[in-house]
Structure 1
């Protein structure tokens, strides 16, 4: 997918800048509320567009997230599991079409290939709320996982 097509998708899908990088637009928020003491929608879904010049910096959620590849460049998801192990998943036409990231895992994502854009979807269950989102700080993540120092330096912004 080239830049012109990416711009068309941003306009057509009414995407806006995402705090962790790229562009997003929410497509679904369940009317079913779950959880106590905090109420959350049962599930949420977004479109997410990412270019190879940007990345989704390391962050974590309190919910599981499923990534779906729709079109364009493949996307690499770098995951640091709660136990400290690193896992890399590639989603795209020549790879798998979806990937799951477990709640509490730190993860980052980037489009692969020069000039590439990727359109993916992300489903979160229980649903996404900003109270359940934590963007990593480089120093704190390196202290927690010194064995992944290079990975953390590459995919964090500060």
Structure 2
């Protein structure tokens, strides 16, 4: 059993929320796409829905996504469970990329947050924390979040990190080889 409240099983969540496999890993369902469009400042003026909303679920079976970025801003809101985000911001003026870790969870005393805003063009990946995996009941280990994207999500505004992109991201970092090795399992080949 998880060390945090997780009342519904992953099987129940997948069924009740009509979740399907997500190309990033895990499961998802789009729950809202605004009918109104705006000109997106992040997509070269292309028309996008004002906002889109999805459920996103990671489970013991699918414990992490892959590194990707969106052009639009994305608000991640915790529903159930716990998830650790890796955020990689490109280096400025030839500097090295900055890596941050943020955990969505309910334990504020341990620095966990219930909401996380990720600006466009920041590489991100979500994963169930390693210490949460391998419990007696994998059906009660996972994380369900809501993601609100503004302007709305469009596949043209989404990019998966590739092996070459990963090397470029850390090319000016003295620990580049270690970071490339660390993040290589989470890029699309």
Same fold (TM over 0.5): yes
- Count of paired positions: 156
Tell which structure's C-alpha radius of gyration is larger: 2
Does the residue aligned with 1:150 lie in a helix, a strand or coil? helix
Checking the alignment, whether the CA contact within 8 Å between 2:78 and 2:105 is kept in structure 1 is: yes
Q: Deviation of residue 154 (structure 1)?
A: 3.8
| Higher strand residue share | 1
* Residue of 57, 60, 63 corresponding to 2:69: 60
Alignment of 1:39-58 (within 5 A): 39-54=47-62, 55-58=64-67
Alignment of 1:13-52 (within 5 A): 13-35=17-39, 37-52=45-60
| TM-score scaled by length of structure 2 | 0.76
Gaps of 5+ in 1: none
Does the residue aligned with 2:67 lie in a helix, a strand or coil? strand
Q: Deviation of residue 17 (structure 1)?
A: 0.4
Checking the alignment, whether the CA contact within 8 Å between 1:51 and 1:117 is kept in structure 2 is: yes
Deviates more, 1:32-41 or 1:8-17: 32-41
Gaps of 5+ in 2: 92-96
Q: Deviation of residue 131 (structure 1)?
A: 0.7
Deviates more, 1:142-151 or 1:35-44: 142-151
